[in-house]
Amino acid sequence: METTDLLLAIFHHILVFSLAAIIAAEIVLIRSELSPRIIGRLAGIDRAYGMVAMLVILVGIGRVFYGLKGWEFYVYNWAFWAKMAAFVAVALLSILPTMRFISWKKRVSADAGFVVPADEFAPVRTCLRAQMVIFMLIPIFAAIMVRNY
Ligand code: HEM
């Protein structure tokens, strides 16, 4: 149905732009000095990231099955699988930052003078940057996918 397809497309776009904004916010925050306030903010933003990512998956699956093209269009489309692989890579790269944000939040709650060790900070920043780079490949694959190029 055309209205379902339109609504799914609208939600899909809003959600993926939100996801990009959340990754960008995390990258900006991780650059600054990690005060207890910033650690709390990072942990909060990261929770939102998890929720938005889940919604992207649900709406994305909705588009595959309830979109106008039909699921067969996507399952035999290499760019669809490339897009899914990039999405999974972004999800895997988000695991370490999430674990660290939770751990830092716990440690800073127990000890207000807690300072994030450099060897824990640097890999988180690298993962976030890699996430953003791979995330930007997703709309490229999406554009190829819809045109069956
Ligand atoms: C499990 C995750 C996802 C699934 C299952 C999924 C699935 C889909 C589907 C079925 C379409 C419809 C294309 C059509 O009109 O035929 C679409 C379009 C699109 N998706 Fe996703 N998607 C997912 C995640 C993402 C993410 C994370 C992004 C981030 C940038 C994204 C960006 C786009 C864009 C930009 C389009 C429109 C492409 C165009 O019309 O040129 N998708 N997606």
pLDDT tens-digit readout, 97-111 = 999 999 999 999 999
Q: 142: Cβ below 6 Å to ligand 1?
A: yes
How many domains are there within the chain? Answer: 1
Q: d(Cα 28, Cα 21) in Å, to the nearest integer?
A: 11
H helix or E strand, kind and range, residue 87? helix 78-93
Domain containing 45 equals 2-146
pLDDT tens-digit readout, 133-149 = 999 999 999 999 999 88
pLDDT tens-digit readout, 46-63 = 999 999 999 999 999 999
Q: What is the pLDDT of residue 76?
A: 96
- Mean pLDDT of the chain, nearest integer: 96
Q: 60: Cβ below 6 Å to ligand 1?
A: yes
pLDDT tens-digit readout, 17-57 = 999 999 999 999 997 679 999 999 999 999 999 999 999 99
